[in-house]
Amino acid sequence: MVGAATRLGHVEPRERAGAQTGRRYEYQYERTARAALDLLGDGTKHVCVYCDWHDDYVVETGDPPTRYLFHQVKGRKSLQGAWTFGDFFGVRLKKTKAIAKKPPAVSDDAIMPRMLMHYGNFADNCAGIAFVTNAGLNPELTGFLAAVAAAAEVASLPTDARIAFDHVARAYAAATPPLVASPDDLLACLRSLVVHTDQGQLESSDAALLEIAAVVADLSEIDLRQRQAKVIARQVVERVRLKVSHSTTVVPAPDEQLRQDKGIVVAELLSVLSLSTEAYKALKGGASSDTVKTLSRLQRFCDKHPRLQEHIVPISQFKAQWDVWRTIERHNVSGADFLLLESRANEVLQGEMTIERVVAEAKDIAKQFAGVGVTPLTPEDVLGLIFSKAALSEALT
């Protein structure tokens, strides 16, 4: 039974096509993969991206009880031009006030009617609908959607937009079953619509993969070459394809089961990307990708030396402190002195990596180079240098 608390796994989808081949389908998988990567850095608390379940992809978002953002993805060749009003709504753009005796029929392959079903199926758990395409919208469709977005109620629509709106509302109310309960409901649904144009590449599979690879490289904890990033990007797309092909989910399915069968969650992405759990948490906390890369390298270095693991937080702070000292003193310290200082830090890394030994070595180095710059060099600065070198060594392995 459909109600305000209906979950995504409680309703049987209209169809279960399974994974299919061809550039249009690959485009859908690529846009789903790109959306899945947003799980790692998105501040809106996205939980899961479902693959080809009730729509091309569905983003589960928010704190429990979570809600759903339904995304319809359609690729369009450049020769076909922009999407038209008829393509989108399934009826022509009406420009005159004269009303026909019969409501117009709605095209079966139109974009909007399919998305409206989500409000009927999931009520308040439908957080919104979105259309994703590599193409654009023609001016008439763009103008109409803009007028609808600016209207607080049907009566406030401009005359031309009102004529077109009433024509669509009449057609949708006459559909079997009705697509909307009232014109007010249609307006509310249209005002929640988000359109993402110029997304991805339909006609160049290599360019499409490069876009995803660039995001992978930015999120990775290590510096990836383009070839490596493309390999990982393919793996993410393949993960989407496998989820799409899963066809044995039994409805009603609880949230956890549906996530396992049809969804991509953070843990799955971390297993594919070169990204540690600590780096992921730093990204979610607002850290830059450069900071994340350094943190992840330090984490790996400390994991190799168990007696350092419990000190990862102060070690990261020492590294940041060294970066500040180096920035301030880069014009005051000679190149030869910097080389000697870095050489001593590298020597420390060759020995036993206990916190007691590293601290003692840092104190000796700080004393030896006390007057090397204008700003006094402290043992903490030297510790930061040592672990900066440690992070660099992890990047090169």
Domain shared by 262 and 315, yes or no: no
- How many structural domains is the chain composed of? 2
Rounded-to-integer distance, Cα 244 and Cα 67, Å: 21
- Report the 10 Å Cβ neighbour count for 233: 26
Q: Are 84 and 140 in contact (CB under 8 A)?
A: yes
Domain shared by 363 and 250, yes or no: no
Inside any domain, residue 71: yes
- At residue 209, the 3 state secondary structure works out as helix
Inside any domain, residue 247: yes
pLDDT at 330: 80
* Alpha carbon separation from 237 to 35, 39, 117, 205, 383 (Å, rounded): 11, 15, 27, 12, 42
47 φ, ψ (degrees, to nearest 5) = -105, -40
Which of 134-148, 151-165, 251-265, 277-291 is predicted least confidently?
277-291
Inside any domain, residue 3: no
Inside any domain, residue 337: yes
Rounded-to-integer distance, Cα 158 and Cα 155, Å: 8
pLDDT in tens, 284-320: 676 666 666 666 677 778 878 888 877 876 887 788 7
Give the type of residue at 91: V
- What are the beta bridge partners of residue 194? 130
Inside any domain, residue 278: no
Domain shared by 309 and 254, yes or no: no
pLDDT in tens, 179-238: 999 999 999 999 999 999 999 999 999 999 999 999 988 887 666 678 878 988 999 999
For the entire predicted model, the pTM comes to: 0.75
pLDDT at 9: 96
pLDDT at 4: 52
Those residues with Cβ within 8 angstroms of residue 74's Cβ, 6 or more apart along the chain or in another chain: 111, 131, 132, 133
Domain that holds residue 166: 8-272
Listed residues 225, 248, 272: the one ending a domain: 272
Domain shared by 374 and 347, yes or no: yes
Domain shared by 261 and 321, yes or no: no
- At residue 70, the 3 state secondary structure works out as strand
Q: Are 122 and 6 in contact (CB under 8 A)?
A: yes
pLDDT at 273: 75
pLDDT at 1: 37
395 — pLDDT class (breaks 50, 70, 90): low
Inside any domain, residue 1: no
- What are the beta bridge partners of residue 133? 74
Residue of 222 and 94 predicted with greater confidence? 94
Q: Is the pLDDT at 397 greater than 60, yes or no?
A: no
pLDDT at 42: 55
- In the structure encoding, which two tokens stand for residue 96, read together? 């005159």
